[in-house]
Amino acid sequence: MTSLLTQVEQFLYREARLADAHEIESWLELWVPDEGSTYWVAGPGHGGPDVSVAIVYDAFPRLKERLTRLTMPGAHAQEPRSSLCRVVSNVEVVAEEADEVSVASVFALHDVRRSERLHVGRCEHRLRRSADGFAIRSKNVFLNNRDAMLPTLAFIL
Amino acid sequence: MTQESQHPQVADLVRTDKVHSSVFTDERIFHLELERIFYSTWVYVAHESEVPTPGDYVTKWIGLQPVIVSRDKDGELHVLLNRCRHRANMVCSMPSGNALSFRCAYHGWTYKNDGSLLGVPYPSRYGPGFDKSELGLSRVPRVALRHGFLFASMAETGPSLEEHLGGADEIIKDFADSAPNGQIQLTGGHHAGEYGGNWKFVGMDGYHVNFTHKTLNDLAQRKAPPGTVMGALNSDRSPHVSIDFGNGHCQLAFQAPGEGETDQLTSAYRGSGGETEADAEYRRLLEARYGEVRARRLLLTARDPHLHVWPNLQLIAGQVRVIRPLSASRTEVVSYPALLGGAPEEYNRQRLRATEWFHGPAGLGQPDDYEIFERNTIGLKAELQPWLFIGRGLGLETVNEAGHIIGQVTDEVPQRAHMKAWRARMVDCASDTESTVAPVDADGGRS
């Protein structure tokens, strides 16, 4: 019997691999595909998305549009695409309910395009249990440098 | 471009319809720009809503120089250089806060938040000539508040802020008035981004939209009713105009849309069309306060005034955007969504979401703009033909009764407006009035 932590880790690694490979459609299939699912990349400061501008605060349908645009010809900031490779670590199951699991993790993402950059941050996932594993209900990303000048982030964090 | 050891002959670098590459790449020119533009004309520094109560402060920049904007106990605003008068240490290291005084961390010199020197440690070792009243934090010579926007000038004398703003002033007022209580609030966070390119790339450009932002049109086209031609408002058939107010201030004016065009603008920034309930409530508040005609103008202004207040401020898509030059080929841009005081909370929440749609490092538009700026920086290094062409619409403009030059929205009226003001400041930095709206002739002289 695989432990819950291992199951969660395997899910996050798969998510990371699809994001690194710009497999946008497959990555979107990891989600619960409705308005109740949210993706939040926090902006500077400590306000939540109701009072403070985020880098991204999308319900699933808008997230899908945002990422679909990146697959269209003319998305200049990703022509050519970034070469991405991320490490996901410090995975913790922080809460466990009947149908959902809350998970904390950290990531370090190496991004090579015109120059090399490193994006580091913390993630919070709420994962809904499904027949074949998990589906993402929400994902929050807190970049470690979110209070600083940020470079372009036109890919999946 | 000359090889003289002193300064390049800047007068030769800008012609009526052309700009020389070095204007965007040469570090010597960049340092002249700091001196003759950022340290001599009016620049935007902060918004009063960032320091609402006595004791509040924010740290900002004028060109490369760090400043503190503080509100003293009597409510007076000060713009002080963030440099201890002892040995030049930065006296305030926090982005914002509330403090009655600033104590230098190096040797403990302490200043009141109005800049005056309160005291120094162990004063007995200073002689009788030591005069505290002479050693306050340096004060930016001229400071002026206009419709909530705080501007400063390092020049002791010169045109007033009102004279400097000219026709742009009315648009700034409209933007402030678009808050139902008359006060916009820069309290909704910000996006701070950087790109590898010259600060002057951030302009007003009605010509790039359908190409740089092609994907946004294509995305909208998928949802549009059959027969809709996305991007028509950004083509040479658009009824929209570009305006040169003089002194470098310019606007892409979307204030005369036809049927259905307002929705398209909304859609472009929000990702969904139509008037929401919060939009309608906000509209009713404006109509009640200003009447239908002015409310209609303010609705469009609130959404996107698309105004450049030269050199470093833009009011664009519901945001206050500040351009901070770092070097000839590196720039920071900080954008604050302007929340509208007195508007429904839900309306302001939608403004935040609208900002994130196009803007920010993962927006649907900004990454492509910055990518274009970086490609421009690379392209500029190919100098066999060193001139950039900014002549689109030249000779086809009209001049309105206020003396403003009006072109079609895709014309390079804003580019010429900027370069005229740039040339006026750089060649003759004595006076803003040099940069009037009078057209320049082919040799770059006044006609």
Chain length of chain B: 447
A74 close to B (CB below 8 A): yes
Nearest CA in chain A to B270: A62
A128 CA to centre of own chain: 15
What mean pLDDT do residues B149-177 have? 97
Q: Are the C-beta atoms of residues A40 and A140 closer than 8 Å to each other?
A: yes
Of chain A, the end-to-end C-alpha distance in Å amounts to: 31
Q: Express each pLDDT in B294-332 by its tens digit.
A: 998 888 887 889 999 999 999 998 999 999 999 999 999
B159 with B424: CB under 8 angstroms? Answer: no
**Over residues A111-138, mean pLDDT:** 96
- Cβ neighbours of A45 in B, within 8 Å: 189-190
The partner residue sitting opposite A50, judged by closest CB among B349, B372, B375, is: B349
- Position B443 scores a pLDDT of 42
pLDDT higher than threshold 50 for residue B436: no
Q: Provide the ipTM.
A: 0.96
Closest by alpha carbon to B37, among B146, B158, B139, B132? B158
Mean pLDDT score across all residues of chain A: 96
As a whole number, mean pLDDT of residues B72-80 equals: 97
Cα dist from A49 to A53, A140, B184, whole Å: 6, 11, 19
- Which stretches does DSSP call E strand in B72-190? 77-81, 96-98, 101-103, 110-112, 117-119, 142-146, 149-153, 184-185
Residue B360 binned pLDDT confidence (cut-offs 50, 70, 90):
very high
* Residue with token string 């950022």: B38
Q: Does B341 touch chain A (CB under 8 A)?
A: no
Chain A contacts of B372, Cβ < 8 Å? 76
Give the mutation candidate from B195, B215, B223, B381 for the A interface (greatest A CB count, under 10 A). B215
A49·B352 Cβ contact <8 A = yes
Q: Cβ(A23)–Cβ(A67) under 8 Å? A: no
Q: Which helix (H) or strand (E) holds B223?
A: helix B214-223
Residue A56 forms contact with B (CB below 8 Å): yes
Cα separations (Å) of B100 from A3, A137, B370?
Answer: 56, 46, 40
Q: State in Å, rounded, how far the first CA of chain B is from the last one.
A: 24
pLDDT of B415 > 60? The answer is yes
Q: Does B35 touch chain A if contact means CB atoms closer than 8 Å?
A: no
Using the Cβ of B367 and the Cβ atoms of chain A, whether some distance falls under 8 Å is answered with yes
The model's pTM:
0.92
Token readout for B19 is: 């700009």
Strand B307-309 and strand B313-316: the pairing is antiparallel
At residue B256 the predicted structure's pLDDT band, cuts being 50, 70 and 90, is low
User: Which residues of chain B from 201 to 260 reach within 8 Å of chain A, CB to CB?
Assistant: 212, 214-216, 218-219
| Alpha carbon distance A136, B183 (integer Å) | 40
Q: Could you tell me if B266 and B273 are in contact, meaning their C-beta atoms sit under 8 angstroms apart?
A: yes
